[in-house]
Copies of this chain bind each other. A is one copy, B any other.
Amino acid sequence: AWLVGASQVLGLTSVVLTGVWMGHYRGGFAWDGSAQEFNLHPLCMVLGLVFLHGDAILVYRVFRNEAKRNVKMLHGIIHLLALIISIIGFVAVFDFHRQSKIPDMYSLHSWCGMATLVLFCIQWVMGLLFFLFPVASSWLRASYLPIHVFCGVALLVMAIGTSLLGITEKLLFSIMSTYSLFTPEGVLANILGILLMCFGVLLGYLI
């Protein structure tokens, strides 16, 4: 149980650190096609596709003794929230690229990120169809469950990996020449990366 608490501390600290990095070092947030609009991208992705995604999975572990129906609703709702926030983060970076005439989808980060979000949407729709609406027979549900669980965990790992790639890209775009001098911004972003990794390992252990 205290491990669940630790995961919440790690997750929340990650979200806050992302906010501090973008808010303090990278000039804050806006929705005007500028680099400040880009800044919403990391924040939304870490909040939606890492923290909320992780917590949506954890509810089954935390609320073991609640009525299954309620926990299922909660799981679905948190995932819906995660989906909405990640889509805002997606729109933010694509809109920034369009207005700044930067090409789309060239980087390893963007390929991994797109794969993660598309599969996340599919997982979401499948989860809804199989578990919330009574279209699938109970046999079909039972055989889909392990697939659902494996894909859910794999997607969390992919989201975390993608985030670390994004952190590395953002650092090399912004502070390439001073990164190797252990500037505070670089160290802060490295720590963010390590915390995200620890969040992933801990959730993998808890599930």
Contacts and interface: CB of A to CB of B under 8 A. Distances in A.
A47 interface: no
A64 B64 CA distance: 35
Interface string A176-192: 10011110001001100
A179 to B, nearest CB: 6
Interface string A85-110: 00000000000000000110011110
Among A106, A109, A176, A179, the one with the most B-chain Cβ atoms within 10 Å of its Cβ is A106
Given A108-B190, A115-B194, 18 more contacts: A103-B181, A103-B182, A106-B182, A107-B168, A107-B171, A108-B167, A111-B190, A111-B193, A111-B194, A112-B193, A150-B204, A154-B204, A164-B164, A164-B165, A165-B165, A165-B168, A172-B172, A172-B173
A19 interface: no
B161 A107 contact: no
Nearest to A154: B201
